[in-house]
Amino acid sequence: MSEPQYKIIAPERRGFTVIELLVVIAVIGILSSIVLVSLNSSRAKARDARRAADIKQVQLALELFFDNNNSYPVASAWFGGQGNCWGTVTNNWVPGLSPGYVSALPLDPRSTNCGSVYLYAGNATNYKIIAHVPENCENPAMRSIKDPARDGGPNGGIIDGNSCWAWAFYTPGAAAW
């Protein structure tokens, strides 16, 4: 009589091994960090676009003010909204402009941050509005609104530097302020 032959059967695998689970978790972590970096970059671009639109809106309101009064609002020092580390802090940072010419003056999207603020200085004939410390000041699309007095160049009246830290709209007489 012959001996019965036994077949060795490998145990059935159910579920995932610890290594497989760790690999999947690591891949998900890497992908989520890439998405978060991209999302933060998009948010910064959106805040910068809003800054440019906000100070453009104030510039248009200033020109309407000038048309009606033959002068710009006078501010003896730099006036800024919330988060201002310099000058006078006020939500009405352009004297006399709100509510007659704009319903409310805009505040920087990150206005609780000490450096992120809109600033205004003006006399009867000239003015300057600044978006201080935009998140991507060197954005090529915003080159035309770089503040010449805050671009790191030697001449405060023209854009000639490489270390931008403010965007501005201004009258020619206020370029170097």
Domains of the chain: total: 1
Asked if residue 45 belongs to a domain, the reply is: yes
Pair of tokens at residue 127: 């003015």
- CB 161 within 8 Å of CB 48: no
For the entire predicted model, the pTM comes to 0.70
Asked if residue 120 belongs to a domain, the reply is: yes
Asked if residue 1 belongs to a domain, the reply is: no
- CB 165 within 8 Å of CB 148: no
Asked if residue 83 belongs to a domain, the reply is: yes
Pairwise CA distance, residues 29 & 38, whole Å: 14
The pLDDT value given to residue 177: 86
Asked if residue 46 belongs to a domain, the reply is: yes
Contacts of 82 (CB under 8 A, 6+ apart): 89, 91, 107, 108, 111, 112, 117
Q: What is the span of the domain harbouring residue 152? A: 18-174
| Model pLDDT for residues 81-106, shown as the tens digit of each residue | 665 565 555 677 888 888 888 888 88
Tell me the C-alpha to C-alpha distance, in Å, between residue 134 and each of 14, 18, 55, 70, 152. 55, 46, 12, 32, 15
- Provide the percentage of residues in the chain whose pLDDT is more than 70: 79
Asked if residue 150 belongs to a domain, the reply is: yes
Asked if residue 139 belongs to a domain, the reply is: yes
Which residue type, as a one-letter code, is found at position 127? Y
Asked if residue 88 belongs to a domain, the reply is: yes
Nearest to 129, CA basis, from 109, 101, 149:
149
